[in-house]
Structure 1
Amino acid sequence: MSRLEQRAFEATEQPSKREGRPVVAVGAHDLLAADFPPRDMLLSPWLLSQSLAMIHAWRGIGKTHLAMLIAYALGSGGQCLSWSAPAPVPTLYIDGEMPGAALRDRLARIVEISEEEPPEGFLRFVTPDLQPDGIMPDLSTYEGQNAIERVLGDAKVIVVDNLSCLARTGKENEGDSWQPVAEWALRMRATGRTVIFIHHSGKGGTQRGTSKREDLLDVVMLLKRPADYNPTQGARFEIHFEKARSLYGQEVKPIEATLETLPNGRQTWAMHEVSDVADAAMIELAELGLPHAEIARELGCHRSTVLRALRKAEQEGRFSPKKKPKRKERDRYGDD
């Protein structure tokens, strides 16, 4: 028997001699009778216990802002945008790149607009400026994973912000580099924990790097700028669910979130369905007299989408199209 044949024989015929973790197999009846712990709703309607999720966005859109809002709502049992946490959940926020002062100031602003407060120890932070050498653990290595696990305590939710600086080993676009982090995430899920990864979007709008990251995730959320966004508007972004296991219909409809300042100086988040916002923009531009094709170009959609939205708005009494000029007037002034 050749050496190659010997290796093939050992790999296929003698599994008991190979090293590795034992595998457990159960019958269909045993699986149906298995008493798994129930999965609790942590942030309604989209985040359950033992979930693996990702929020990604282009730089400067607001992914850390949203991640901290989510973490605070989880730790306090409060509200985050249109989502709500039924009860406080011990949460660990791992920040990989922000200066400590900036992290503190962002947290202070969230506290100002929140009605609930986390119980003692229910929201904890790991950040570079509070480490002895200023270096964060690398979740791509077992040493880094062990370092994080030593400070988990009773945390049920782990927010990893962000993958680029907290999983540094290997190349971002290679699936093999993701494997150690994926195994760690699955191990966290097996212990009953939820992990939320924060990540950058690539040039094409998808999460940056290997697509294998999304395979094991339950929820993938994209943040992006509205088509009519102006930098003077500050925190304003759309939230789109790109993947959402066991979520349907209204639960995964895209929303737009805007941080508004009230007359008394207090800040609050305003939410709208993206379709409603887009319809309002189409109506406004149509009332200004823009042709349908130009409205479509302005909002980054198809002309047929504009036609359908304006027709529906007209039927509902929200839009009254201007009458087209008579033939002589069109000849004189032109038409679109």
Structure 2
Amino acid sequence: MRLDPTQLETNCNGIVATDIDTFLKMKIPPRTCLLAPWLPSSGLTQVYAYRGVGKTFFALNVAYAVATGGEFLGWTAPTPKRVLYIDGEMPASDMQARLRTIKGNDVMNSDNFKLITPDIQDVVTPNLANEESQIELHSYTSEADLIIVDNISTLCRTGKENDSDQWTPVQRWLLKMRSEGRSILLIHHANKSGGQRGTSGREDVLDTVIALRKPQGSSPTEGASFEVHYEKNRGFSGNDAQAFSASLSMMNGKQVWKTESLQASTYQRCVAEYKKELSCSEIAVLIGKNKSTVSRHLKKANDEGLIQYEH
């Protein structure tokens, strides 16, 4: 939110500096959340994952929850807000199919969810690293409370992703949007080692960074599933910042999401694999955990009468 500087002194270049007492007397509204606890109003956030993990499923559900004042993965949107979803690569037919499974027959204010996607355009996909594209999008971005950029590689074409200087025009735009009271969610790709692709300097101005990771040993036949890990969590902590797992199933053509703590998820996986007659060592390799961790879960399951674990 841009604060009113009219009562403050400015220098010849229009830059404002204020003394501490004046600043502390300013009536600055507290930040609220568009989606509690991690997506603040006037906030800059990022979600990244390796290809095929479920980034767009995640982003579309966040968009829908914010637009309807709904809920996603236990996160709640207090009130409906205006969302602009800028898509850079999804075929229109796939986008339509995914949105149908999210919306179903729900009744909502459709003006709260605006979509820009390549296949319905007669012009080139916007490049947010270019000031001209930023201006061209202004009539849409100026009406949004939340702007989702899916994804950085297709919509912020800066050239070398590892060059922090080439990210500067995008960062300038992000900070401008924030100063106007808008929130941004950036969707990004992970590299082969699992970290986010490109310059780490991108994180400097962000409030929240979330990594979506494929569970160890998961199968493509299981459908969309991922672990949610907070890598940066400005403004929230404790239980709100605990990692968890999420999985998607379909019921009557509509998405149904299930979440559970990572500890509970690991425990259930250990029990399930042990019932398939895998050894403790084999389970440890399969799910990517230490043998001692697997053994501890199996001992607990034995004590609860779920299995007979000889150790």
Does 2:149 match 1:157?
no
Match of 2:55 in 1: 63
Write the distance in 1 (CA, Å) between the matches of 2:163 and 2:253.
Answer: 48
CA shift digits 1:177-200 (9 cap, x unpaired): 111111111111111110000010
2:286 is matched with which residue?
A: 298
Return closer, same or farther for 1:23/1:313 CA change in 2, 3 Å cut-off. Answer: farther
The residue that corresponds to 1:178 in the other structure is 167
One of 110, 120, 123 as aligned partner of 1:130: 120
1:322 aligns with 2:309: yes
Paired residues in the alignment total: 301
Relative to 1, partners in 2 of residues 1:65 and 1:53: Cα closer, same or farther, differing over 3 Å?
same
Aligned to 2:21, the other structure's residue is in SS state helix
Aligned to 2:196: 207
Distance 2:71 2:291 in 1: 38
In the TM superposition, what is the alpha-carbon distance from 1:226 to its structure 2 partner? 1.4
Q: Equivalences for 1:1-336 in 2 at 5 Å?
A: 22-112=14-104, 115=106, 117-133=107-123, 135-262=124-251, 267-313=255-301, 317=304, 319-323=306-310
For the structure 1 residues 195 and 318, does the alpha-carbon distance in structure 2 shift closer, same or farther, using more than 3 Å as the test?
A: farther
- Find the residue that maps to 2:204 and give its secondary structure: helix
TM-fit CA distance, 1:239: 1.5
Residue 103 of structure 2 contacts residue 254 of structure 2 at CA under 8 Å; is this kept in 1?
Answer: no
Q: Is this contact kept in 2: 1:287–1:322, CA < 8 A? A: no
Residue identity matched to 2:272: E
User: Please, what is the CA RMSD of the aligned residues?
Assistant: 2.2
Amino acid at match of 1:212: G
Given residue 71 of structure 2, which amino acid in structure 1 is its aligned partner? Q
Q: 1:190 to 1:318 in 2, by over 3 A?
A: farther
Q: CA deviation at 1:319?
A: 4.9
- Between the aligned partners of 2:149 and 2:283, the Cα distance in structure 1 is 40
| Structure 1 residues 174 and 30: alpha-carbon distance in aligned structure 2, compared to 1, 3 A threshold | same
Which one-letter code corresponds to 2:288 in the other structure?
A: G
Q: In the superposition, relative to structure 1, how do residues 261 and 24 fare at CA in structure 2: closer, same or farther (>3 Å)?
A: same
- Counterpart-to-counterpart distance in 1, 2:23 and 2:253: 56
Partner of 2:84, secondary structure, is strand
Whole-angstrom CA distance in 2 between matches of 1:296 and 1:22: 61
Structure 1 residue 270: Cα displacement? 1.6
What's the CA shift for 1:72? 0.9
Give unmatched runs, 5+ long, in structure 1. Answer: 1-15, 325-336
Deviation, structure 1 residue 313:
4.7
Structure 1 position 162, deviation (Å): 0.4
Offset, 1:70 = 0.6
Q: CA deviation at 1:309?
A: 3.4
Partner secondary structure for residue 231 of structure 2:
strand
Contact 1:72 1:118 (C-alpha < 8 Å) held by counterparts: no
- Give the C-alpha shift of residue 265 in structure 1: 5.8
| Rounded Cα–Cα distance in structure 2 between residues aligned with 1:48 and 1:58 | 25
CA positional deviation for 1:25:
2.1
Higher relative contact order (CA 8 A, sep 6+): 2
| Aligned-partner Cα distance in 2 for 1:82–1:170 | 37
Which residue in the other structure is 1:10 paired with?
A: none
Contact 2:247 2:257 in 1 (8 A): yes
Please give the secondary structure, in 2, of the residue aligned with 1:184.
Answer: helix
Q: Deviations over 1:69-124 (max 9, x none)?
A: 11011111112222121110011000111122222222112111x75x43141110
Asked if structure 1 preserves the Cα contact closer than 8 Å seen for 2:190 and 2:196, the reply is yes
Of 280-289 and 86-95, more deviation after overlay is shown by 280-289
Change (3 A) 1:323 1:296: closer
How far is 1:140 from its partner? 0.7
Partner Cα distance (2:41, 2:305) in 1:
42
